[in-house]
A and B are shown apart, each in its own frame.
Chain A
Amino acid sequence: MVTIAKEVNLSQAEVQLKGVVAGAGDQYLPVAYSVTSRKRETADTVTLTLKPKDSRSSVCPRPRPGQFNMLYVFGVGEIPVSVCGIEPDGALLHTIRRVGAVSVALCDSKVGTVIGVRGAYGVGWPVARMRQRSLIILAGGLGLAPLLMLIRHVVRCRSDFADITICIGARTPQDVPFLREILSWQRLKYDAGLFDVRLIVDRADRDWRGEVGVVTSLLPRSLTAPECSLALICGPEVMMRHAASDLVRLGLSHCDIYLSLERNMKCAFGLCGHCQLNRYFVCRDGPIFSFEKVESLLNVKDL
């Protein structure tokens, strides 16, 4: 009896899965984009500008801050890469670090190289919840890339928000991505509200005039109105766990802290299960999650 029941369940699941897979076919098809410029950010990081290969080809939907695209290097493989900007003409900006075969191939791609793009995927940063709130934005290493579009939006619409604190950490002064833009933010002056952009590196010699230490040490010591604050964090998961705990101690509610998680994303639309995190698929339900949703999961080893 048990065996029969299992068979029935399995066949139902198979039927469901076949339906989903049949509907997913088009979603696996990449759109051909050309690399139109390549800018070296640091020794191992490159920003690529991607435009549709020709004017007749289709384009991917315009991504929202925090979303990602799947970038396909033909003959090598496909990886998820967050969108760090959109040019006025709609060109996509992706910053990639040399880590494995696909990212190295992307970093080495020359102007004119054709790359497959699928997207945009995932849940972006909670832009609608940010209005009129004080924002604490914390980025570690290349975690700044998925926050870049968001910070540019905040700078552009400064009056929509209360106090803004941006804390950026990097390994050494040579490893700071988007340094010129960070310095330009530090020079910004606004009539009302705090706008504080701080940069810190893990290690440096005396030539470095900035701060040295871990990025979480830049968090404010106290908050006047934690109930009106929202925190947005992206970086190594260990750093995010500690930062989120510090923010809870400062009085922020778990539901007002957002983290960008990274897992092994393959299909990017919640089908293959590679990025499963308990009841969530990081590609579909994330990569941005509230701390309320994932706090307990982050403490489970190897999940």
Chain B
Amino acid sequence: MVTLRTIDNLIADHPFFAGLGSDFVTFIAGCGRNRYVEEGDYLAHEGEEANAFFLIRRGKISVETNVPGRGPVVLETLGIGDIAGWSWIFPPYKWAFDVVAREAASFIEINGLCLRGKCEADPALGYAVLKRFAGIMSERLRDTRLRLLDLYGNDRKRS
């Protein structure tokens, strides 16, 4: 027998929303929909209006930017259990980078405009959501700083 899983179930099971109360999950689920993309499909284009974020359930996506003379450069890959997109939270609500499916991917797309409205109306929900985003931002900032160090670079002069 196939058990149909609702958006509520999928959101509650996603690591990003782990521990979130069921009332809040239902609130957020009201802004969500299930999506599937094929390899090479764009989930977001740099500079365009950012009105969503993605909870990845299956597959792999990448955050990319186009460098003149080099073409698309992959900044980071994200997979099962990751999230992509926080440009919907802050003005001017524009995507800072491209988001591309590296392989076929399933994810929950949360409408940012819808969730922003709910967060404005309910500060407790807003705090719970922003706390999770702050955690992810802090984690990715640390990872980026570590990569900035170029730790594997051969710049040490020793024996």
Contacts and interface: CB of A to CB of B under 8 A. Distances in A.
Interface of A: 44, 77, 79, 97-103, 140-142, 169-171, 175, 200, 202-206, 208-214, 216-217, 221-222, 235-236, 238-239, 242
Interface of B: 15, 60, 62, 64, 70-77, 79, 81, 102, 139, 142-144, 146-147, 149-154, 156-159
A100 B151 contact: no
A70 to B, nearest CB: 11
30 contacts: A44-B154, A77-B159, A97-B154, A99-B159, A100-B158, A100-B159, A103-B159, A140-B151, A141-B151, A141-B152, A170-B152, A171-B153, A175-B152, A202-B147, A202-B150, A203-B74, A204-B74, A205-B71, A206-B64, A206-B71, A206-B72, A206-B73, A206-B74, A210-B77, A212-B75, A213-B76, A213-B147, A214-B147, A217-B139, A236-B151
B152 A140 contact: yes
Nearest to B158: A100
A33 B73 CA distance: 46
Contacts of B144: 214
Contacts of B64: 206
Contacts of A208: 74
A171 B150 contact: yes
A211 B158 contact: no
Nearest to A98: B154
Nearest to B73: A205
A210 B81 CA distance: 17
Nearest to B79: A211
Given A202-B147, A216-B146, A171 B152 contact: yes
A24 B71 CA distance: 59
B46 to A, nearest CB: 15
Contact of B156 (A99, A169, A200, A235): A99
A215 to B, nearest CB: 9
A217 B151 contact: no
Given A79-B159, A221-B15, A205 B143 contact: no
